[in-house]
Amino acid sequence: MKKLLVLCILFLLFGLRSNGQDANADYVKEHYDKIEQYITMRDGTKLFTSIYTPKDKSKKYPILLNRTPYTVAPYGEGKFKASLGNFPEMMKKGYIFVYQDVRGKWMSEGTFEDIRPTKTKENKHSIDESTDTYDTIDWLVKNLKGNNGKVGMYGISYPGFYATASLVESHPALKAVSPQAPVTDWFIGDDFHHGGALFLMDAFRFMYTFDAPRPKPINNENGPKGFELQSKDYAKFFMENPSLSGLKDKYLNHTVKFWDNLAKHSTLDSFWVARTITNHLNEVKPAVMVVGGLYDAEDTYGAFETYKQIEKRNKNNNSILVMGPWFHGGWVRSEGDSFGDIRFGQKTSLDYQKNFELPFFEYYLKGEGSFNPSEANIFFTGSNNWKTFDQWPAKDVKSEELYLNADGSISSSPKENVESFVEYVSDPNKPVPFQEGIIENRTREYMISDQRFVANRPDVLVFETEALASDLTFAGPVIADLNVSMTGTDADFIVKIIDVYPDSTSATSAINDKVVMPGYQMLVRGEILRGKFRNSFSKPEAFKPNEITSVKLTLPDVAHTFKKGHKIMVQVQHSWFPLTDRNPNQFMDIYKAKAEDFLKNTHRLYFDKNHPSKIMFSSLGEK
């Protein structure tokens, strides 16, 4: 009976969703005309562009531009997108929606380059993503009938990078830009590297198709096919293919460009610096709304960093930050009332769409309504409420420290006066998994998932406070300051901040009532640092065996309230597999490592007053 009820509910939900999608598709056809146009760039390259114009010609409309490497499909003037804009209410408000295949992708001419370096002002024929955007906007405002001369731009993830690039020496008609989960820095903290460590699973699966050669323009029907894993177990697959160079030789010969560049540029050299778009965010003129998810598995770092760099480099900028409890794109791809096993008590995505994105573009592109948000608008999980600030990181905060102790406790000061440490072994041939069960996919929910599945491993150190006597709110970056020694010459350091639910909790899960919430260890934030980059991402340094060394790891910003009765847990480990590639525990070029190079490492983590290990964070005063 229960199975029948579940099937009925799923059928009903699927029907409602399908009806909604059909209604949106019908709306597009009934209210918009479609034009397909090649727009010529300053170097003569032509970029394929799909243009949707309102059929109502009684007034003029602003242009909303989305530049993408993921195809503007469907192709053909008689074929229409199922919806326009980020969400249906946008298309119902009336805009000229423009979608463009970026240079070298799909139906556009030219050669594609990942996060193409910015080369403005080299000469009048120099091209980059900012000049392609400028040339596109210039053609649109001069040639599209019925436009009001104002342009907005938005994009999520890789299209978010192109939105950011539009801010560099922007076109005068560009008035409002919203980089959302923007790709920002592929070595420090986005997508394929975190802390200099390769995000193996994402890089391999994504680049298997994305970086496939395209000798001539192709439509979506002729696109590359994705990688098919026969065993359905990525941990097994990567253990059986331990060499990064071997992966290339066996599976990636058709996509050698990006993988070769990873191997050639294994430090933060000029290759990566040239591709860091935030280095060019000077003299930003359009209004900017940076949007991101606190639990975005791809680009949490990018949203925070883009906002911070605009603020740092532009004294008179008009930019705001919106960060919610969302997965990648969750602010428009879900209602935002839950994620994984955690409920938020409100439909945060619908609130965002109504109160931020729609009025942002309506105000700056049409002059309609009002838009007076706070500088930083952050949703705090745990307490499950929005908080506003006049800057981010917030200024009215208290700097605090929590000390790790040899007995597994956490205290406000170090307990030991004399040398104290815990010794344990990390074996890269028995790596710590990043999520529970057979790893068929990298789930987005790992960012918030229960960590009890690794808490009893001897190579995962666990530290925990007493039950909190009052709420404690983390607001901003968290720094793990560790004192360590090891028998090897390199190691990865993964630090996780965890909210431990009380054993007596009455909380329920979001979508699965069988989840045991008492004692739940909710991951709030986790991050990795490749140890050889502890002092510089450009100049790696070997560890001296058995010598006490300081390692500081900065985690992306946290906005979370640990409620009264909960505990704060810190886990420290040295592998996160196969989310990240394994460290052979030797100071070497990991791209050349062979199976026999992966060695055990005996670690010590220190706790005494002369060599404390601690967590540093900023807290908000609780009202």
Predicted confidence (pLDDT) at residue 510 exceeds the cutoff of 60: no
In 479-583, which residue ranges form alpha helices assigned H by DSSP? none
Compute φ and ψ for 474, nearest 5 degrees.
-85, 135
Q: Are 104 and 141 part of one and the same domain?
A: yes
- pLDDT band, residue 211 (cuts 50/70/90): confident
Contact 81, 169 (CB under 8 A): no
Q: Locate 519 and state its tokens.
A: 């004692």
Q: Are 365 and 423 part of one and the same domain?
A: no
Predicted confidence (pLDDT) at residue 356 exceeds the cutoff of 80: yes
* Residue 191 maps to a domain: yes
Of 492, 495, 525, 510, residue with least CA distance to 603: 492
The rounded distance, in Å, linking the Cα atoms of 581 and 573 is 14
Write the DSSP string, 417-445: SS--EEEEEE-TTSPPBSSSS--SS--GG
Predicted confidence (pLDDT) at residue 330 exceeds the cutoff of 80: yes
Inter-CA distances, 390 with 317, 354, 599, Å: 14, 21, 49
Q: Locate 187 and state its tokens.
A: 């070595």
Predicted confidence (pLDDT) at residue 227 exceeds the cutoff of 70: yes
* Residue 559 maps to a domain: yes
Among 56-65, 69-78, 180-189, 513-522, name the one with the lowest average pLDDT: 513-522
Q: Are 356 and 408 part of one and the same domain?
A: no
The rounded distance, in Å, linking the Cα atoms of 49 and 138 is 14
Q: Are 369 and 517 part of one and the same domain?
A: no
Q: What is the pLDDT of residue 160?
A: 98
Q: Which of 359, 389, 419 is the last residue before a domain boundary?
A: 389
| Structural domain containing residue 594 | 398-620
* Residue 166 maps to a domain: yes
Q: Which of 389, 408, 425 is the last residue before a domain boundary?
A: 389
H or E element, residue 497:
strand 492-500
In 176-281, which residue ranges form alpha helices assigned H by DSSP? 200-210, 234-240, 244-251, 256-264, 270-274
The rounded distance, in Å, linking the Cα atoms of 212 and 592 is 23
Residue-wise pLDDT tens digits, 244-297? 999 999 999 887 788 899 999 999 999 999 999 999 999 999 999 999 999 999
Q: Could you give the angle at which helices 129-143 and 158-165 cross, rounded to 10 degrees? A: 80
Write the DSSP string, 100-132: EEPTTSTTS-S---TTPPP-TTS-TT---HHHH
The rounded distance, in Å, linking the Cα atoms of 548 and 477 is 25
Determine the average pLDDT of the residues in 197-208: 95
* Residue 556 maps to a domain: yes
Of 94, 96, 113, residue with least CA distance to 105: 113
The rounded distance, in Å, linking the Cα atoms of 220 and 136 is 22
Contact 180, 300 (CB under 8 A): no
Other Cβ atoms less than 10 A from the Cβ of 270: the count is 10
Q: Are 374 and 412 part of one and the same domain?
A: no
The rounded distance, in Å, linking the Cα atoms of 88 and 436 is 36
Among 147-156, 203-212, 220-229, name the one with the lowest average pLDDT: 220-229
Q: What is the pLDDT of residue 327?
A: 98
Q: Are 384 and 465 part of one and the same domain?
A: no
Among 153-157, 338-342, 508-512, name the one with the lowest average pLDDT: 508-512
Q: Are 152 and 89 part of one and the same domain?
A: yes
The rounded distance, in Å, linking the Cα atoms of 336 and 345 is 9
Contact 471, 619 (CB under 8 A): no
Q: Are 314 and 449 part of one and the same domain?
A: no
Q: What is the pLDDT of residue 120?
A: 66
Q: Are 347 and 405 part of one and the same domain?
A: no
Q: Are 25 and 128 part of one and the same domain?
A: yes
DSSP assigned state of 353: I
Inter-CA distances, 188 with 185, 274, 497, 544, Å: 6, 14, 19, 24
Please report, in angstroms and rounded to a whole number, the separation of the first and last CA atoms in the chain: 48
Across the chain, what does the average pLDDT equal? 93
What distance lies between CA 510 and its chain's CA centroid? 23
The rounded distance, in Å, linking the Cα atoms of 179 and 566 is 35
Residue-wise pLDDT tens digits, 1-60? 444 444 444 444 445 455 667 889 999 999 999 999 999 999 999 999 999 999 999 999
* Residue 203 maps to a domain: no
Residue-wise pLDDT tens digits, 61-109? 999 999 999 999 999 989 999 999 999 999 999 999 999 999 999 999 9
CATH number, position 286: 3.40.50.1820
DSSP assigned state of 366: I
Predicted confidence (pLDDT) at residue 571 exceeds the cutoff of 50: yes
- In a 13 Å sphere around the CA of 520, the CA atoms on its Cβ side amount to 22
Determine the average pLDDT of the residues in 112-131: 86
The rounded distance, in Å, linking the Cα atoms of 270 and 4 is 59
Determine the average pLDDT of the residues in 355-384: 98
Predicted confidence (pLDDT) at residue 213 exceeds the cutoff of 90: no
Contact 494, 426 (CB under 8 A): no
Q: Which of 357, 389, 421 is the last residue before a domain boundary?
A: 389
* Residue 214 maps to a domain: no
Q: What is the pLDDT of residue 238?
A: 97
The rounded distance, in Å, linking the Cα atoms of 510 and 345 is 10
Q: Locate 178 and state its tokens.
A: 């919203």
Name 227's Cβ contacts closer than 8 Å, sequence gap at least 6: 204, 205, 208, 209, 251
* Residue 243 maps to a domain: no
Q: Are 139 and 58 part of one and the same domain?
A: yes
Q: How many separate domains does the chain show?
A: 2
Among 29-43, 213-227, 517-531, 563-577, name the one with the lowest average pLDDT: 213-227
* Residue 177 maps to a domain: yes
Q: Are 300 and 402 part of one and the same domain?
A: no
CATH number, position 461: 2.60.120.260
